[in-house]
């Protein structure tokens, strides 16, 4: 799908959602420069427009410019927040399909990544962002699995999750397309022309700052939409700060997960190291994947110069 990266790829930097903090942005740029990577910054990277980095038109202009620029190898988002859903109906999917490049980010960037997969079949990387992890001090775990995947020269990337806090909730083996991201955004896209087909997929989900009843609501919507009847496997990452208020009567997250997945006919992982925490395992959205709980392994096809078709 993508051309294999050189040892010094060029990153196109964009802010499709909120504008970044200036000091975090500068620290992230210095992080990439210290690694001898080249950078091209979007025109409206830090232009405040309410909480956005520019108007919808300006944010689209930066995104389209990076896809058009033949010198840009990857498109790296500064941060998330909100704004992607305002852009998906105006993205130039023909341009993206003809100039396929990985869009890197997570949280609100999930919306753009899923829409780009649904409409252009171009993979993305749900992983660290310039003015977040790279700007505040990236953890060794996040750094290792981000660069190892971007610069991987093998057909696959294997991750043994036995050394992490991952819990095998439902054992089994599954193959399928790796799709997902932030739970709230995955759910928000349902019913739009920009939500992907989840048949046969391995779905991955995480979220932050949502009370348990809202997690319950999102999962109920996915269930009622038939998504859980379509997928081959489920990876639940971190759900940070997803707690009820003090003295509030509530189900625990585990009780909610048990309600939806105790009888699942597919493998399910809990507490996988992916989400809004410090340690983020980069998830290449759209690639062929295999999840084997007995081997405690997630195998991911390399989208750089390799087919992303599911066998």
203: which 2 tokens? Answer: 């779905």
pLDDT of residue 13: 98
In CATH, what number is assigned to the domain containing residue 187? 3.50.30.60
Cα–Cα distance measured from residue 309 to residue 311, given in angstroms and rounded to the nearest whole number: 6
In a domain, residue 151? The reply is no
Question: pLDDT tens-digit profile of 246-285?
Answer: 889 999 999 999 999 999 999 999 999 999 999 999 999 9
| Model pTM score | 0.96
Tell me the pLDDT tens digit for each residue of 85-115: 999 999 999 999 999 999 999 999 999 999 9
| Domain contains 310 | no
Residues 97 and 184 in one domain: no
Would you say residue 185 has pLDDT above 70? yes
Summary mean pLDDT of the chain: 95
Residue 275 belongs to what H/E stretch?
Answer: none
Is 80 part of any domain? Answer: yes
pLDDT at 308 exceeding the cut of 50: no
Check residue 307 and give its pLDDT.
Answer: 44
- Does 2 reside within a domain? no
For residue 71, what is the domain's CATH number?
Answer: 3.40.50.10740
Is the per-residue pLDDT at 17 higher than 70? yes
Domain that holds residue 195: 156-301
Q: Are residues 52 and 85 in the same domain?
A: yes
- Per DSSP, the residues of 290-302 read EEETTTTEEEEE-
Q: Looking at the predicted structure, is the pLDDT value of residue 310 above 50?
A: no
Residues taking part in catalysis? 107, 206, 276
3-state secondary structure 180-204: EEEHHHHHHHCCCCCCCCCCCCEEE
For residue 308, tell me if it sits in a domain. no
Nearest partner of 285 among 201, 208, 188, judged by Cα = 201
How many structural domains comprise the chain? Answer: 2
Contacts 24+ apart (CB under 8 A), 24-30: 24/79, 24/131, 24/132, 24/135, 24/136, 25/78, 25/130, 25/131, 25/135, 26/135, 27/131, 27/134, 27/135, 27/136, 28/78, 28/129, 28/130, 28/131, 28/132, 28/134, 28/135, 29/130
Q: CA–CA separation, 68 vs 87, rounded Å? A: 17
């Amino acid at each position: 799908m993508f051309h294999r990266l050189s040892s010094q790829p060029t990153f196109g930097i964009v802010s499709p959602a909120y504008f970044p903090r200036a000091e975090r942005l500068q620290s992230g740029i210095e992080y990439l420069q210290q690694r001898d990577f080249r950078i091209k910054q979007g025109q409206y990277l830090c232009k405040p427009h309410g909480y956005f980095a520019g108007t919808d038109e300006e944010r689209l202009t930066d995104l389209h410019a990076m896809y058009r620029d033949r010198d840009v190898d990857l498109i790296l988002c500064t941060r998330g927040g909100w704004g992607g859903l305002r852009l998906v109906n105006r993205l130039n999917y023909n341009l993206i399909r003809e100039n396929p490049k990985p869009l890197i980010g997570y949280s609100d960037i999930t919306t753009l990544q899923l829409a780009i997969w649904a409409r252009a079949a171009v993979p993305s990387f749900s992983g660290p962002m310039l003015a977040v992890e790279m700007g505040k001090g990236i953890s060794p775990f996040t750094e290792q699995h981000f660069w190892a995947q971007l610069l991987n020269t093998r057909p696959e990337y294997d991750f043994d999750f036995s050394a992490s806090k991952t819990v095998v909730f439902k054992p089994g083996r599954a193959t399928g397309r790796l799709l997902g991201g932030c739970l709230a955004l995955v759910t928000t896209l349902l019913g739009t022309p920009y939500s992907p087909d989840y048949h046969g997929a391995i779905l991955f989900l995480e979220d932050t700052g949502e009370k348990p009843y809202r997690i319950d609501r999102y999962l109920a919507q996915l269930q009622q939409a038939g998504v859980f009847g379509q997928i081959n496997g489920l990876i639940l990452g971190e759900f940070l700060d997803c707690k009820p208020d003090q003295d509030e009567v509530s189900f625990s997250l585990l009780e909610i997960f048990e309600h939806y997945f105790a009888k699942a006919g597919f493998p399910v992982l809990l507490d996988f190291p992916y989400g809004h925490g410090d340690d983020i395992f980069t998830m290449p959205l759209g690639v062929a994947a295999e999840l084997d709980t007995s081997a405690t392994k997630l195998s991911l096809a390399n989208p750089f110069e390799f087919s992303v078709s599911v066998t």
